[in-house]
Amino acid sequence: MGAKGIKTRQQVVKTALQLFSVKGYFNTSINDILESTRLTKGGLYGHFRSKEDIWYAVYEEAVRIWRGIVFKGVRKTVDPLKRIEKTVENALRDYLGGNVFEGGCFFVNMLVELSGQSASMSKQVLEGFVGFSKLLNTWLEEADRKGLVKKGLDFKEIADFLVIAINGAVTLYSAGRDPATWKQTVSQLKFFIHQLKK
């Protein structure tokens, strides 16, 4: 695979990512991708074996982008509660509010569309969310070990709730495009996290 091929392949992935996020997977046709990339069918199918194949490549790219934004400046944050706060803020203000994907959040859109349609694809997305929740969970346990939070909290439930609230903001912001949606959620979740402190 030469340098040229890699470049056009990346271009296809980049283009398909935006198209999938706006139009959805099923309602984005191969022709849509061809028109946006100025490729032809032969060119496209030289890089990907199928439409589903494109989706998996797009998913990986989306994860790469998402990680870069959501975990920016997070590793160096020592206080685990501050780290959670920072991550939530990044996810809502910079990722969601930053309109990184034209159609809102690629992952939520795909999760909703593919649930009950493609077991393997929706599983892939769902595992991403589960992994995110588990990460928040470990940070909560770290806060517990450091004696920063109240006793008797259900960390899994709290981590899940954070992910749930973020997801809810995504669905409404994607539709209404009112920045108040994610701003309010940041504010409410900061308050929520504050309530956990000792």
Partner DNA sequence: AAAAATATACCAACCGTTCTGTATTTTGTC
Partner DNA sequence: GACAAAATACAGAACGGTTGGTATATTTTT
Q: Which residues bind DNA (CB under 7 A)?
A: 1-6, 8, 28-32, 38-43, 45-47, 49-52
Closer to its own copies by CB, 43 or 103: give it.
103
Q: Which of 61, 54, 96, 77 minimizes the C-alpha distance to 185?
A: 96
Within residues 125-144, the interface with its own copies by CB under 8 A covers: 125-126, 129-130
Phi, psi torsion values for 197, nearest 5 degrees: -65, 150
Stretch that binds its own copies, among 35-43, 51-59, 74-82, 163-171 (CB under 8 A): 163-171
Q: Which two tokens stand for residue 32?
A: 């849509």
Q: Which of 53, 175, 179, 194 is close enough to bind its own copies by CB under 8 A? A: 175
Closer to DNA by CB, 39 or 100: give it.
39
Q: Which of 10, 50, 138, 195 is close enough to bind its own copies by CB under 8 A? A: 195
Closer to DNA by CB, 6 or 180: give it.
6
152: DSSP letter = S
Question: Which residues, 6+ apart, have CB-to-CB distance to 189 below 8 Å?
Answer: 88, 92, 162, 165, 166
- CA–CA gap between residue 10 and residue 58 (Å, rounded): 9
SS3 call for 148: coil
Q: Which of 11, 22, 65, 144 is close enough to bind its own copies by CB under 8 A? A: 22
Phi, psi torsion values for 149, nearest 5 degrees: -120, 165
Question: Which residues, 6+ apart, have CB-to-CB distance to 100 below 8 Å?
Answer: 65, 66, 69
SS3 call for 149: strand
Q: Which does 113 bind (CB under 5 to 8 A by kind): its own copies, DNA, none?
A: its own copies
Binding site for its own copies (CB under 8 A): 22-24, 26-27, 102-104, 108-109, 111-113, 115-117, 122, 125-126, 129-130, 157-158, 160-161, 163-172, 174-176, 180-181, 184-185, 187-188, 192, 195
